[in-house]
């Protein structure tokens, strides 16, 4: 495996405004500012790619006091197309799939850090 294989191939980027659970966004933002040399959009794209690869679509209970805030995110067009396929397969909206993708990765991150 080449060092350059760590990077995504060129793809069209699409800006979307999506509502994200505040706690999830805050955690990603913390990781970007304090742990990794990356952006929130790139982390979310990595989460989406992992969901596409694993198809680990798991519904999580909604926190009763959780706030959702709108954020402008840059997403890869190929990832959005793949999310559309998962949407058709599982009957879950793209935005919910993005939340699931983020939640899955953050849960895995915390398991590894213990």
**Domains of the chain: which residue ranges?**
3-113
Q: Render pLDDT for 62-108 as a digit per residue (tens, 0 to 9).
A: 777 889 999 999 999 999 999 999 999 999 999 999 999 999 999 99
Percent of the chain at pLDDT > 70 equals 99
Q: What is the pTM of this model?
A: 0.89
The CA angle 46-89-9, to the nearest 5 degrees, is: 30
């Amino acid at each position: 495996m080449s060092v350059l294989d760590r990077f995504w191939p060129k793809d069209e980027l699409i800006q979307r405004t999506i509502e994200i659970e505040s706690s999830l966004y805050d955690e990603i933002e913390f990781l970007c500012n304090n742990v990794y040399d990356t952006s929130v959009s790139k982390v979310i794209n990595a989460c989406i790619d992992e969901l596409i690869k694993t198809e680990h679509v798991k519904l999580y209970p909604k926190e009763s006091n959780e706030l959702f805030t709108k954020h402008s995110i840059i997403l890869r067009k190929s990832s959005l197309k793949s999310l559309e396929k998962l949407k058709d397969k599982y009957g879950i909206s793209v935005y919910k799939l993005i939340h699931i993708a983020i939640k899955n990765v953050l849960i895995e991150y915390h398991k590894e850090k213990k």
